Chain A
Amino acid sequence: MSDGFQPMTSSATHRAEELTSKKNDGQGVHHLGYRSWSGWLTPGWTRWLVISILGIRRSWQNKWLKRMLYVAWFPMIWLGAGIFFWEQAALYPDWRNIAMSMLDGLPHDATFERITEAFRKGDLASSRHTVWALLIKTLFRYSQPVMMVMVVGLIAPPLISQDLRSRAFLLYFSRPLTRGEYVIGKLGTLWAYLALISTIPALTLYIIGVLTSPNLSVIGSTWDIPIRIVAASVILMLPTSALALCFSSLTQESRNAGFAWFAVWILGWFTYAAVSTGEAFHTQQQFRRHHEVLAPPESAWTYLSLYHTLGRVQHWVFGFSTLQDAMTSMAILVVITVVSLSVLFYRISAPMRV
C-alpha cells in the first residue's frame, strides 16, 4: 500500500498486523478479523421505526414512566363502570332508579337533561351514543391530558436535546436517513406512549361497552365512536408531541426543555383560572346591579391555556359542540404544530450547516 515513502517501523507494523490479524487471540476464539457483509436489507421505511423503538426502549427504563402508565389506566375503572351501569340500567328498571338518584346530585346542562329524560322514559337506547361519547370524552378531556402532560414531560425533553449535546446528529445524518424520518422516529416514541394512555384505553372502554351491552346491535348506533377516538387521539398527540420536541431541540439541557414544557401547561392553566375567575366575578357584579343573569363572554386570554384549548376541540370531536365553537382552538393547535415542527426542522438542520 505504501510507496515506501516513509514506512512504519517494522516492530510497530508487526504489532499492528498482529493486533488486527485473524490469529490474534486477545479477543477470544470468535475474532475473525474483518469480513465483508452481504444479506437482505430491511425496507427503507423502517428507518424511522428503528429510532422510535430505540426511544421506546430507553424511555421504558424510567420507573416513573411505568408508574404513570399504571395510573393512566385508573380512570378506566370508573368510566368502564359507568358504561356497565348504563347498559345494566337499559335491561333492569331497578338500576334505572339508582341511576336517577345519582344523577340528581350532578350539575345539569343540556346533555344531562337529555340523559335524565332518557332514564325517565326508559328509552336508554336513544341516548346510548351520547352517554358513551360523554364518558369517553371525559377520558380525553380531563384525566388523560393531565397524564399526557406528565408522560410527555418525562419522555420528550431528552429525546433531541441529548442528541444535540452528544452531537449524535452526525451519526444519524451520515446514514441514509432524512430529517423527516428522524423527526417521525422521535415523534413515534411519544406517539407510542400517548397511544398507550389515550387511544388504547378509550378503545378498550368502547369494547367494554359493546361487551356489556345487551347485544352486538349497539355497534350500529355507536360505530362512529372509534373514529372519534382516533381523531381525538390525533388532536391530543400531534400538537403536544411537536411542541415537546420543539422545546427539546432548543436546548442541550433536557431539564430546560422539561421546565419549558411544564411551564407552558401550568402557566396556561393558571391564566385560564385567573381570567375565568375574574369574568365570573364581573358577571356576579352585573347580576347584583341589574338583577339579570348574563353568560360571561369567554376572554381571548383563555386560549393561552393549552389544556382548555385542547379540551374545546375534544368537545367538538365527540359531538358536544359545533365546529364554529372549536374553530379558534383548532386554529391555535394547527399554528402550534406548524410552528413547532418548523423550529424543530430548523434546529436539527443547524448543526449540518456549520
Chain B
Amino acid sequence: MSAVIDLAEISKDYGHFRALDRVTLQIQSGVTGLLGPNGAGKTTLIKVLLGLVKMTEGRGRLLDFELGRQSRDIRAHVGYMPEDDCFLHGMTGVESVQFVAQLSRLPAIEALRRAHEILDFCGLAQERYRLVETYSTGMRQKLRFAQAIVHDPPVLILDEPTSGLDPEERQVMLNRIRVLARDHGKAVLLCTHILPDVQSISNAVVILARGRVQVSQSLAELSRPAKPSLQVRLLGPSDQFVNRIRQRGIEVDTQSNGSLVLHGALEGMSEFVWRTASECGTGVRSMTPSRNSLEEIFVSAVRGELQNE
C-alpha cells in the first residue's frame, strides 16, 4: 500500500534555527499520532505539508501531489484543524462552515446544506445560529473540526483536536475521528500532547524531537516489550506465590501498585500462574501481557534512547 504522506530528507530553517532536520517519514492511511515536546517541529511539519511555509530542502508527496509545487492541490485534499483559536469574526457557526466550504469550491447552496449536515455530525445544534465569538472553547473546537471536514477531504490534519474539551466531549471527538478513519477511509494525522488520545485511536505513532523523527512505527510494534512478560494481580497476599515462581527460575518484579511482572517466555505461563496461585491459596484478579506504555516510549524517544527503525 502506498503511503499517504511520503517525506524524504525534509529540512526547514528559520534563519539559523533548524526547525526540521532531514525528516524522512511515510504515513499510511488510518490514524497516525504525531507527538513531540514543545518546539519539536510538529507545527512546522504541518505547515510544510500544507505549503504554508517553504521547506529549505528535501522532497515529499501527499497523496499524488508534490510538496512545495502542488500546494493548492494538497490544500484542496486536506482538512486542517488548527490548534490556534481562529475564527471568522461576525459570522454564525453555520455561516462560517458554509464559507470555508465555498472556499473549497462547493457551490453556495450545497455548501450550506453540507454545513448543516456536518454541524449535526459535530454536535453543534442550535448554537450554530449564534455568532462564533460567543462560543465556548469546546464549541469553537467542534466548529474548527466541522470546518476541517466539511469538504470531505481524504486526508485530515488535526492539531490538538481534543484540547479544551470536557472528558465526555473528548471521547465523543475521538470517536468522530475514529468513525472518519474506520468507516470513511480518511487518513488522519493527529497532532496532540494528550498521549491517551493517541493510544486510544491511533494505528501508528510518529515522535518528533529537536526537529528529527525519533520514532515512526506502528503502535502495536512499539508497545511490544523487548522481553515478553506477564502482568499479574492477585486477590490475596503474594509472598508465597512470588517465592514459588522464583523457585522455577522466573524473574519477578513487584510494582508499586502491588501487581507482579513475570519475565520470560509466555508459553504455558498462564496455566502455570493459575495453578501456582491455587496451590498458594490465593486467586488471580487479572493477568495481561505487559506492554510498554506510550508515556515511557515518548520519554525514551525524546531523550534519544530509542532508535527509529
List residues of chain A with CB under 8 Å of any chain B CB.
1-3, 5-8, 12-13, 15-17, 19-20, 26-28, 30-44, 46-47, 50-51, 54, 58, 158, 162-163, 165-178, 352-353
| B245 located at the interface, meaning its Cβ lies under 8 Å from any Cβ of chain A in the complex | no
Candidate in B31, B104, B183 with the most chain A CB atoms within 10 angstroms:
B104
Q: Which of A1, A41, A162 is close to B181, meaning CB atoms less than 8 Å apart?
A: A1
Whether A39 contacts B219 by the Cβ 8 Å rule is no
Q: Are A176 and B88 in contact (CB under 8 A)?
A: no
| Contact present for B84 and A5 (CB under 8 Å) | no
List of A residues within 8 angstroms of B102 by Cβ: 42, 50
Question: Cβ of B172 and Cβ of A37 under 8 Å apart?
Answer: no
> Cβ of B149: which chain A residues have Cβ within 8 Å of it?
34
Say whether, besides A167-B86, A177-B103, A37 and B200 are in contact (CB < 8 Å).
no
B87 & A168 in contact (Cβ 8 Å cutoff): yes
User: Cα distance A6–B220 when bound, in Å?
Assistant: 11
Query: Are the CB atoms of A3 and B223 closer together than 8 Å?
Result: yes
B184 touches A174 (CB 8 A): no
Q: Which of B183, B200, B291 has the most CB of A within 10 A?
A: B200
Let me know if B225 is at the binding interface, CB within 8 A. no
B53 x A352 contact (CB < 8 A): yes
Instruction: In the A-B complex, list the 7 residue pairs whose CB atoms are closest, starting with the nearest.
Output: A16-B175, A167-B86, A37-B152, A174-B80, A41-B105, A176-B76, A175-B103
Please report which residues of chain B, range 1-24, place their CB below 8 angstroms from some CB of chain A when the two chains form the complex: 14
B281 contacts which chain A residues (CB < 8 A)?
none
Instruction: Check if A5 sits within 8 Å of B89, measured CB to CB.
Output: no
Q: Which of B118-126, B231-239, B250-258, B266-274 contacts A (4 or more CB under 8 A)?
A: B118-126
Given A31-B120, A37-B114; A171-B86 close (CB under 8 Å)? yes
With A1-B201, A12-B171, A51-B103 known, 17 other A-B pairs at CB within 8 A are A3-B203, A3-B218, A20-B121, A20-B172, A26-B123, A34-B176, A41-B107, A43-B105, A166-B86, A168-B89, A170-B80, A171-B86, A173-B75, A176-B72, A176-B73, A176-B75, A353-B14
Interface pairs (6), CB distance under 8 Å: A13-B175, A33-B179, A37-B106, A167-B86, A171-B87, A171-B88
Chain B residues with a Cβ closer than 8 Å to the other chain, count: 71
CA distance A170 to B43 in the complex (A): 12
* B50 within 8 A of partner (CB): yes
- Pick from B114, B172, B293: contact of A19, CB under 8 Å: B172
Of A8, A34, A169, the most chain B CB neighbours within 10 A belong to A34
Chain B residues within an 8 Å CB radius of A2: 199-202
A239 to chain B, nearest CB (A): 27
Q: How many angstroms from the CA of A59 to the CA of B88 in the assembled complex?
A: 14
CB-based contact B291/A352 at 8 Å: no
**Does B63 count as interface, using CB distance less than 8 angstroms?**
no
The listed residue with most A CB atoms (<10 A of its CB), out of B78, B89, B107, is B89
Which residues from chain B contact A58 at a C-beta distance below 8 Å? 90-91
A1 and B178 form a contact (CB under 8 A)? yes
Q: Which residue of the partner chain, among B31, B47, B184, contacts A36 with CB atoms under 8 Å?
A: B184
State in angstroms the CA–CA spacing of A189 and B111 once bound together.
21
Which of B76, B181, B199 contacts A6, CB < 8 Å?
Answer: B199
How far apart sit A140 and B212, CA to CA, in the bound complex (Å)?
61
With A3-B223, A26-B125 as given contacts, are A39 and B89 in contact (CB-CB < 8 Å)? no
Asked if A16 and B88 sit within 8 Å, CB to CB, the answer is no
Closest to B114 in A: A37
Instruction: State whether A5 touches B219 (Cβ < 8 A).
Output: yes
**In the assembled complex, B100 has its CB within 8 A of some CB on chain A:** yes
| Interchain CA distance A122-B119 in the complex, whole Å | 72
Residues of B within 8 A of A353 (CB): 14, 53
Determine whether the beta carbon of B219 is less than 8 Å from that of A3: yes
Is residue B52 within 8 Å, beta carbon to beta carbon, of the partner chain?
Answer: yes
* Distance to closest chain A CB from B290 (angstroms): 12
**Contact status A54-B223, CB under 8 Å:** no
The reply to whether A162 and B89 contact each other, CB–CB distance below 8 Å, is: yes
Check: B294 CB closer than 8 A to any chain A CB: yes
Q: A30-B120, A174-B50 are in contact. Are A7 and B105 (CB under 8 A)?
A: no
Chain B residues lying within 8 Å of A43, measured Cβ to Cβ, are 105
CB-defined contacts of B91 to chain A, threshold 8 Å: 58
Whether B220 contacts A20 by the Cβ 8 Å rule is no
- The chain B residue sitting closest to A48, CB to CB, is B103
Give Cα distance in the complex from A40 to B50, angstroms: 24
Q: Are B178 and A162 in contact (CB under 8 A)?
A: no
Say yes or no: A170 contacts B86, CB within 8 Å: yes
- Name the B residues within 8 Å of A26 (CB-CB): 123, 125
Which residues of B lie under 8 Å from residue A158 when comparing CB positions?
Answer: 89
| Assembled-state Cα–Cα distance A44/B103 (Å) | 9
Known contacts being A32-B120, A44-B105, A50-B102, is A352 close to B114, with CB within 8 Å?
Answer: no
Q: Is B82 an interface residue (CB 8 A)?
A: yes
- Chain A residues near B57 (CB-CB < 8 A): none
Whether A1 contacts B171 in the complex (CB less than 8 A), given A6-B199, A41-B105, A44-B105, comes out as: no
Nearest neighbor of A36 in chain B, beta-carbon distance = B152
- Which of chain B's residues 147-204 have a Cβ closer than 8 Å to chain A? 147, 149, 151-152, 167-168, 171-172, 174-176, 178-184, 196, 199-203
Closest CB of chain B to A243's CB: distance in Å? Answer: 22
Report the minimal beta-carbon distance from A185 to chain B, rounded to whole angstroms.
Answer: 10
From A15, A36, A46, A174, B172 is in contact (CB under 8 Å) with A15
A7 closest partner in B (C-beta)? B200
B86–A39 touching, CB < 8 Å: no
Residues of A contacting B178 in the complex (Cβ-Cβ under 8 angstroms): 1
Asked if B60 is at the interface (CB within 8 A of a chain A CB), the reply is no
Give the shortest distance, in Å, between B186 (CB) and chain A (any CB).
9
